């Protein structure tokens, strides 16, 4: 009798083990291979949690298919960077730089300090170490790009001097605007079929490519020896463009009215700011191209601009707030900042081009799940 009970217990434990293993296999099922790297269902679920964290829950408004698409694109981008970085063992990021970037990321999300961020991560059941890995990956990638292209950076001293002169001329008081953006690539704009849509484009003003700043805001650190602030990020420097269904301008405006600007940015914008609801942050009017500034100045606080035609697509800005900032310029410091801005602008272009080359040469295979 005792032997029978023991046999039954062993059978039960074996069945339980097989069931547990089966569930684990299902959870960790490989859904995509990116070169030598793999992406599993578990990775996808974790990435969705990360996107939810950095958008402070706004991404939850997307349907499952859209959310899955954004998460997969983000994972593929990370895996391509991981493969590239793995070939270079000389990339070392100091703890101080990592901690500084974590602090800035916490502030960008909306928290005063890292402890508040950790509390939020715990609430969302997302590990702080995973968040730190994301930061470290980007810092290593930026350092890799810097090592590759630092000798190809050309700083036009005359151009910098002109920018500094313009800042000095406007140094007393400056208007600053809290700006959100939605950028739609030409390829994502549905061909016009209605008169109303034609009218909306006819009222937009094209902005030609030019040397002056279009928009400048904070950017990532490519030089791990300095903390760079107010780094230029031009409109056309769009990275890892989303592949989305085409949309008409009228439908885009309707989506903004019905679902809000931030949610529409997350869903449709091709700009790197999309995951943050299109937020560019506080931007001085001196950082805007004159044509963009004209649109912004005539837009009421809390309202959006009409569609603006720019190289490669359509731009819509939301002017969320406005303030007057008293400027006290340290000219030597500002000169160095302008030089770093120019360097980072060029490095951003190098980064985009290098990533696109890697992506073209990396085999991405999708598995049925």
CB 283 within 8 A of CB 151: no
Tokens of 139: 């810092």
* Digit-coded pLDDT (tens) for 255-280: 999 999 999 999 889 888 888 899 99
Is the predicted pLDDT of residue 128 greater than 90, yes or no? yes
What pLDDT score does 2 carry?
Answer: 53
| Window from 17-21, 183-187, 325-329 with minimum mean pLDDT | 17-21
**For residue 234, what is the DSSP state?**
-
Q: Residue 54 in contact with residue 109, Cβ under 8 Å? A: yes
Cα atoms in the 13 Å half-sphere on the side-chain side of 163:
24
Share of the chain above pLDDT 90, in %: 43
Looking at the predicted structure, is the pLDDT value of residue 43 above 90? yes
State residue 127's pLDDT score. 93
Question: How confident is residue 16, by pLDDT bands cut at 50, 70 and 90?
Answer: very low
**Higher model confidence: residue 315 or residue 289?**
315
**pLDDT score recorded for residue 330:** 75
> Whole-angstrom Cα distance, residue 208 to residue 225?
35
Please check the confidence at residue 39 and state whether its pLDDT lies above 80.
Answer: yes
329 or 202: whose pLDDT is higher?
329
Q: State pLDDT tens for residues 99-115.
A: 999 999 999 888 989 99
DSSP secondary structure, 167-192, as one string: HHHT-SEEEEEEEEEEEEEGGGBPPP
Contacts of residue 358, Cβ cutoff 8 Å, sequence gap at least 6? 80, 83, 84
343-361 average pLDDT score: 92
pLDDT digits (tens, 9 = 90+) for 207-244: 443 333 333 333 333 233 333 333 233 333 333 334 44
Mean pLDDT throughout 149-177?
82
Domains along the sequence of the chain with CATH: 27-152+356-366 (1.10.4030.10), 166-324 (3.10.50.40)
Alpha-carbon distance of 267 to 240, in angstroms, equals 15
Has residue 347 got a pLDDT over 50? yes
Q: What does the pLDDT read at residue 119?
A: 93
CB 215 within 8 A of CB 288: yes
How far apart CA 309 and CA 202 sit, in angstroms, is 10
Task: Report pLDDT for 170.
Answer: 64
* Segment (H or E) for 325: strand 313-326
State the Cα angle at 191 between 185 and 195, rounded to 5°. 120
Closest CA to 184 of 108, 253, 232, 231: 253
Q: What is the mean pLDDT of the chain?
A: 78
pLDDT beyond 80 at 304:
yes
Element (H or E) spanning 308, and its range?
A: strand 308-310
Q: According to the model, what pLDDT value does residue 288 have?
A: 86
Residue 11 clears pLDDT 60, i.e. is over it: no
């Amino acid at each position: 009798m005792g032997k029978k009970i023991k046999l039954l217990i062993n059978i039960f434990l074996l069945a339980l083990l097989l069931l547990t293993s089966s569930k684990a296999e299902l959870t960790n099922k490989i859904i995509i291979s990116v070169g030598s790297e793999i992406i599993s269902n578990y990775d996808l679920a974790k990435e969705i949690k990360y996107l939810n964290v950095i958008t402070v829950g706004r991404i939850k408004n997307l349907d499952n298919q859209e959310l899955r698409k954004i998460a997969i694109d983000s994972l593929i981008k990370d895996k391509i960077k991981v493969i590239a970085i793995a070939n270079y063992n000389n990339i070392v990021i100091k703890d101080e730089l990592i901690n500084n970037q974590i602090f800035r990321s916490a502030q960008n999300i909306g928290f005063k300090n890292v402890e508040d961020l950790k509390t939020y991560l715990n609430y969302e059941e997302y590990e702080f170490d995973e968040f730190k890995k994301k930061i470290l990956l980007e810092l290593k990638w930026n350092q890799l790009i810097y090592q590759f292209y630092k000798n190809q950076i050309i700083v036009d001293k005359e151009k910098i001097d002109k920018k500094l002169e313009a800042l000095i001329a406007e140094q007393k008081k400056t208007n600053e605007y809290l700006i959100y953006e939605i950028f739609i690539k030409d390829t994502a704009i549905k061909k016009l079929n209605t008169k109303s849509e034609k009218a909306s484009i006819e009222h937009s003003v094209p902005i030609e490519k030019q040397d002056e700043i279009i928009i400048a805001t904070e950017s990532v650190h490519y030089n791990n020896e300095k903390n760079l602030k107010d780094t230029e990020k031009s409109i056309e420097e769009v990275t890892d463009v989303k592949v989305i269904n085409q949309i008409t301008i009228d439908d885009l405006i309707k989506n903004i009215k019905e679902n809000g600007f931030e949610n529409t940015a997350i869903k449709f914008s091709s700009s790197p700011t999309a995951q943050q609801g299109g937020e560019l942050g506080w931007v001085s009017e001196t950082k805007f191209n004159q044509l963009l500034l004209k649109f912004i100045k005539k837009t009421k606080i809390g309202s959006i601009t009409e569609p603006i035609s720019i190289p490669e697509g359509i731009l819509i800005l939301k002017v969320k707030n406005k303030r007057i900032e008293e400027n006290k310029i340290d000219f030597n410091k500002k000169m160095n900042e302008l030089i770093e801005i120019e360097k980072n602008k060029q490095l951003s272009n190098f980064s985009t081009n290098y990533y696109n080359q890697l992506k073209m040469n990396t085999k991405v295979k999708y598995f049925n799940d």
